[in-house]
Every structure is written in C-alpha cells, then in structure tokens.
Structure 1
Amino acid sequence: MDFMILLLAASAGAVYVLTPGPAFLAVLGIGVSQGRRASFGFLSGHLVGDVLWTVMALTAIIGARSVGPLVFDVLGVACGAYLMYLGVRALMVRKGDESAGGFNTRTPFRRGLLFGVTNPKGYPVAVAMFTALLADRADSLTWAAAPELILAAFAGFLVADVILVWLTGLSGLKAVYRRFDIWIIRATGALFVGFAVNALAASLPGLWNRR
C-alpha cells in the first residue's frame, strides 16, 4: 500500500488521541495527580476503545466506498460538516466552559477501559477524522487494505499515547494547561476546521458533478 496512505491513517489515529476532549482531560488529571504510571495505565485501557471505534469507523468508511462513490461523497460531506461544527464550537469556547480538573483512581487501567469503550463521541469523531484525512485517497480504501489501515492507526495511537504519558510527567503542566486551556482548545478548533475544509473539498465536487 502507498506509504502516504498509511502515514495519513497513522496521523488520523494520533490526532484522534491528542485532540483535547474528555479523555485528554481525564488522562491529564490522572497523570498530574498520580504520575506517569497511572496515566500509562489509563491510556492502556483506553486504547481498547480507540481500536474498537477505529475498526467500526473504517468499516463504515470502506463500506460506503464499496457501495459507490456517491455514498462516500455524502459521508465525506457529513463528516466535514460535523468537524466544522466541532471546530467552530471549540473556537468559540469561553473561560469556564472546559476544565481539566484532576482526579484520583486506584484502577487507572479499568477507568481508561470503561472511558474508552463507553465514550459516545468516539465513533462519530473517528469516522469524521479518518474520512477527512483519507478522502483524497478514496480509491485505495478497500477491504483488502483494512488490516494495514488499522495497524497504521494503531501505530498512531501508540505514538500519541507515548507523547501524552511524557507530557503528564512534566512539572507544572497542570498550571500551564489551566492558564492556556482556552487557547489550546481554540487551536484544536482551528485544526478541526482545517480537516473539515479538506473533507468538503474532496467530497463536494463529486456531488456537484452528479447533480
């Protein structure tokens, strides 16, 4: 398979993990209050959810592509719109809307596992993220390519998890995040808007040509 496609799948997996959200804030709180070992345990459990939602997302994306380009283009537009919605919301966030408050847990792996597999936003965000980054390579999204795409995404998860574990061990991280949390969230919003534009640019022309 084309190396660039695998790189995009890995990037989608990494961005999926690293973008600030409930899981990011949870591991930040656990890591800052209990250390890197606890954050590693949480992320190890959460990885199960990451893989689950990614498999489901890629199944939906490849299935849509297999049915026909029209369905895939519709999915691309829907995902682009969803990412645009998330991005605009993040750009408009105000102080007090989000908080990183840490919390303790004696079973970080179990907490991460439950958090990962029960997060209702896991599936739609995964579908939107992978669609946005892989829309330009739609012809390569086949069932035969699925195992390699999943492995590439898994590699992206691991890299992102290592980065998060490293970050949670830094002294003063909690204070820095609380001071600049709004700007971090807004930067994430801008990133989501960029992904949305990419997804829409790849999908809208196909729909327009079929009108």
Structure 2
Amino acid sequence: MSVLPLVFTSGWASGVNAYAVVLLLGVFGATGVSDDVPQTLQRPEVLAVAAVLFLCEAVADKIPYVDSAWDAAHTVVRPLAGAWVGALLAGQSGSLPDAAAAALGGSTALASHAVKAGTRMAVNTSPEPFSNIVVSLAEDLGVAGIVTFAIFHPVAASFVAGALLLTGLLVLYFLVSRIRRFLRRRAQRREERRLGASPWPPPPG
C-alpha cells in the first residue's frame, strides 16, 4: 500500500506538534502496534528527546504570548520535522521516493504550522488566558487522535487531515484582521517598554 496518506497526515500533525508525532509514531513502532514505523523513530534516544521536548511544548503552548514566541521559533523546526518523518516513512515502505515524501511532509507541515501560529495570534488578543489552554489541549488531543487513526486507517485519516487543513486555512483568512491588531498591540508594548527603560523622558509633542 502507498505510504502517501500517512506522509500527508503526519505532515499536517507535525505542523501542529512535531514532537508529539515523533513520540507517538516511535511508541507505536517500538511496542509492535505498527510495522510501518521506521527504526530511526523507535530509537530510545529519539523517544527520550521527543518526550522532553513534547513536555516543554505542552507548557509553553498554554501560556499567552509565550505560545506565539514558541511558534515563531518553530517556523523552521516543524516543516523540517514533517519532511524528515515523511522521508523516513517513504524509505521504510519503498513505495514513494524519499525526496517526494520529504517535500509533501514539509509543505503540509508548513501550511498547518501557519494555521496554528496565526490562530494563536488571534487567540492572544483575548484578555483572558483560558482560551490558550483550551486551544492547546484541543490541538494535543487532535494530533494524538489523528496520528493514531492514521496508523490503522491511513487513507481515511488523510481525508480528515485534509479537511482540517482546509478549514484552518479558511478560518485563518477571516482572522487576519484580528492578527494584525495583535501585531500592532505587541509593537506598541515593545515601544512602551523601550520608552520606560530610557533614562530620559520622551520629548514633548
């Protein structure tokens, strides 16, 4: 069977939480749940690093503004992780060229990362912090559910991932104005901190 659906789904999930994808796939392979998981992902050191980084993301992802800073730092990490996992899955199955799988996984991860980062910017415009926790938990559960589903039903899971990606892009389009307000407010706060740290008062007028 072609590994294409699993590559696409893992790419989407990597754009949301790359460490969870590596950890889940590795655990499924190491425990014998799936024979489609490459040995590289099952290595103890890979699982240990993924687990630690997943815990770090689980905390950072639930704190307003910290989550957006974390997303910015992972703009490169998540697409690279999606490409890496895709290439490994292709190499394991032999049904898809590694380069093509890496391109698919990386581009899908980049798209879903953009949706996540943009949505978080919009969420951070809310004055209360609880929405960050709710959204973060929904993302964590969504990634866990879709990756698990993909192990047993890769084609169906790829359709779900595609629908989620398309929906997220549409929502992001309508949130652009709110994101712009968030960026303006963040720039204003930086300017206020800069002026507050200055030893001289700002000039009048």
Normalised to the residue count of structure 1, the TM-score between the two structures is 0.40
Query: Which protein shows a greater Rg?
Result: 2
Normalised to the residue count of structure 2, the TM-score between the two structures is 0.41
